[in-house]
Amino acid sequence: MQKVFKTLTFVIVAVLLISSWCDPGTVDYGPDVCIIDPMAGEIPIGVITISATIVDNLGITSTALYIDGAVSGTHSSYNADTFYFQWDASNEAPESEHEIEVRATDTQNQAGSDEISVYMGEAPTGTVHEGTIDVDETWSASGNPHFIPSYLNISNGATVTVGQGCRIRFTHGAFIDVQNAALIVSGTSNSPVLFTSADTNPAPGSWGYIEFKGGNGVGSFNYCSLEYGGGSFATVYVTDSATVNMTNSVIRESLTNGFRTIRSGAVGNQFTNNIITTCNDYPLNVQAESIPFVDTSNTFTGNAQHGIQVSGGIVTGTVTWHKHIVPYYISEPIYCGEYDAKGVLIIESGANFKMGINGAFFVGAEDAGGMIADGTGDRITFTSAEITPSPGDWNCIYFYNNSLDDSCVIKNCNLEYGGATYYGIIHISDASPTIFGDSIGYSSSYGIYLEGETPDSTLLQNNNTFYDNASGAIGGP
């Protein structure tokens, strides 16, 4: 009887163990913590950013940084599984030894930790900027290197002027937030300004970003290089009605976009002679309002995504979009004439448009609008952004009843793979645009759809080339 009991006990334990191994969704052995920066050994005196990966399939409920066995604080920020902590070691003695430990607890109250031993080197020379700046400041090369150890907020109408030759270094996850204030970067061709990582071996995303926001948020970059940023959003990020100009500058090795605008953030009136390269996304991601200021003196090469992303927006006034070596990628609708403002978009011949699933041009939808795409001499192309295109990959060019007929021209263009939501690649409703010399094909519906008072369908049929449109060349209600 005793042997049977022991055998039965062994079987039950074995089954329980096997069940545990086979159900990783419900069993957890605690957080897996790994300090990835700094490395064990010498570190500089000053404010130290400590980054650690913390992985747990059930979720993390708390984190803590311990210095020499005493709690120093919790994480200041995180990105996915990487958590960032700050330790002010400004008053530590040179060559003093310390233990850095990161602990974490999961939803089952299980703990995990990692620990490294470090010793302090010499205090760094240079200037540290952190916290809030709410009065005017000027940074000069005599203060090099300038360190951003964590979060720097420029606010309350202050202007920070960065002079020629300045070197600004960011620790892991550090960023600058310019809110209703100004950051003016004034390098020269012989003495440019550099924004870079403080890491010994920097990589894209080693630091965060420079963000401008608020109606009084203003930025200017001239003869400046920004590298290894883009930890979130973009290396330069403009939002909430702020404006930024950039000239004679370089953005490279961004983890995301090089330069991005959103929510009415915009290029001020200059974006010229810049190079944006080796970014892990589109080099430039802006709204329609900024595109007229992006001229052909700029270079966008060697990026993971090839082109200029236009994330929707409104065309007001009469503006020209230039032909660039790279295509435009239209990810959201462009409105020509909207919100009580006339808008006419002129597209230079030879321009190339890659259209996303929501990509469209809506002309005269709410107010007087026009769109002139004349590819005479160098055809303009509107096509799918997909590597393997299919009919219906993008929406359409739609002329509404507020279209300005004399300013609505689609001539000598190639239009393919549209028709996703409406009834044609070109949709005309109570308007009379000039549609001539175009090649229109691979629509998921009609090539051209007509409703209301529109151009003569026979002339449209004779003056354009149609092929492989699912519902036919021209249709209507």
Type of residue at 185? V
Question: Residue 2 pLDDT > 50, yes or no?
Answer: no
> What is the per-residue pLDDT for 237?
96
Q: How many CA atoms lie within 13 A of 293 on its CB side?
A: 17
Check residue 93 and report its DSSP letter. P
Q: How many CA atoms lie within 13 A of 305 on its CB side?
A: 20
Query: What is the tens place of the pLDDT at every residue in 320-366?
Result: 999 999 999 999 999 999 877 899 999 999 999 999 999 999 999 98
Contact assessment for residue 361 and residue 336, using Cβ atoms and an 8 Å cutoff: yes
Instruction: Check: CB of residue 446 under 8 Å from CB of residue 435.
Output: no
Phi, psi of 395 (to 5 degrees): -85, -100
Tokens coding 11: 């079987």
pLDDT the model gives residue 49: 82
pLDDT over threshold 50, residue 4: no
Segment 444-467, tens digit of pLDDT: 999 999 999 999 999 999 999 999
pLDDT (tens digit per residue) in 267-325: 888 999 999 999 999 999 999 999 999 999 999 999 999 999 999 999 999 999 999 99
Cα–Cα distance between 458 and 447 in angstroms, integer?
14
pLDDT band at 21 (very low <50, low <70, confident <90, very high): very low
Whether the pLDDT of residue 476 is over 80: the answer is yes
Confidence grade of residue 81 (pLDDT, cut at 50, 70, 90): confident
Q: Do 252 and 276 meet the contact criterion of CB atoms below 8 Å apart?
A: yes
CB within 8 A of 437, min separation 6: which ones? 376, 411, 412, 413, 463, 464
Nearest to 36 by CA among 52, 47, 48: 52
| Preceding amide of 149 cis, omega within 30 | no
For the record, the structure tokens of 109 come out as 């109250």
Average pLDDT over residues 53-76: 90
pLDDT of res. 79:
62
41-45, 175-179, 266-270: which range is least confident on average?
A: 41-45
**Best-predicted range by mean pLDDT (10-14, 94-98, 411-415):** 411-415
From residue 83, how far is each of 33, 75, 149 by CA, in Å?
10, 6, 15
Are the C-beta atoms of residues 153 and 131 closer than 8 Å to each other? Answer: yes
Which stretches of 198-302 are assigned E, i.e. beta strand?
210-213, 218-222, 224-227, 234-239, 243-247, 250-252, 257-262, 266-272, 275-277, 284-286, 299-301
For Cα atoms 249, 253, 255, give the angle at the middle one, nearest 5 degrees: 120
Of the two residues 87 and 246, the one the predictor is more confident about is 246
The residue that leads in pLDDT, 163 or 269, is 163
Instruction: Determine the pLDDT at residue 124.
Output: 61
**What pLDDT does 415 receive?**
98
Residue 9's pLDDT band (cuts 50, 70, 90): very low
Provide the pLDDT for residue 254: 97
Residues 6+ away with beta carbon under 8 Å from 341? 314, 316, 317, 367
E strands, 273-351, where? Answer: 275-277, 284-286, 299-301, 308-315, 317-321, 328-336, 343-347
Please give the backbone phi and psi of residue 153, each rounded to the nearest 5 degrees, phi first. -110, 120
Q: What percent of the chain has pLDDT above 70?
A: 92
Assigned token pair, 42:
């010498």
Cβ neighbours of 342 (radius 10 Å) = 19
pLDDT, mean of residues 152-163:
97
pLDDT surpassing 70 at residue 182: yes
pTM of the predicted model over 0.75 = yes
What's the average model confidence in pLDDT over 419-443?
96
Structure-model confidence comparison of residues 226 and 51, the more confident one: 226
pLDDT-derived band at 77 (thresholds 50, 70, 90) equals low
